[in-house]
Copies of this chain bind each other. A is one copy, B any other.
Amino acid sequence: MYSAKEAAEITGLSTATLRYYEKEKLLPPIARTTQKYRQYSDEDIEWIKMIQCLRGANVPIHSIKKYVSLLRQGSGTIPQRYEMVLEYKKDIESQMSDLKNALALTQSKLMFYQEILKQPCGNNMTYLEEWHSFKNGGIGEK
């Protein structure tokens, strides 16, 4: 069992955030000592990590809340959960695609800057030239 502070250290979230997640019902009600202080179990910690995993993929709080609520209602909600997770997956793949594009942009820019910095002489690259260099460096479509 872990105190609020310990749970925060383990997960890397703040105690305030952990309370917030509990209030929003992303977490089950956390056990208390002396009917007052929270005591996070190992299972709670694992649960928090799953939430962090979803949040890391920008799944909204309200959606996680709904998912968790279905989970608690038992196996009858599996079809609904299946649909939700399918949506999560699609969304994650879409985000990945966006990130790949942006990564290609950064790589193109870095190569461009390296080329320029390599040259001993001063240069007068303009806004336009740089931009075109990016365009032709090419980010793949789709």
Contact = CB atoms under 8 A, between A and B. Distances in A.
Given A50-B134, A75-B125, A56 B98 contact: yes
A116 to B, nearest CB: 6
Number of copies: 2
Interface in A83-142: 85-86, 88-89, 92-93, 95-96, 98-99, 101-103, 105-107, 109-110, 113-114, 116-117, 122-128, 130-131, 134-135, 139
Which bucket holds chain A's interface residue count?
35 or more
A95 B106 contact: no
Interface of A: 43, 46-47, 50, 53-54, 56-57, 59, 71-72, 74-75, 78-79, 81-82, 85-86, 88-89, 92-93, 95-96, 98-99, 101-103, 105-107, 109-110, 113-114, 116-117, 122-128, 130-131, 134-135, 139
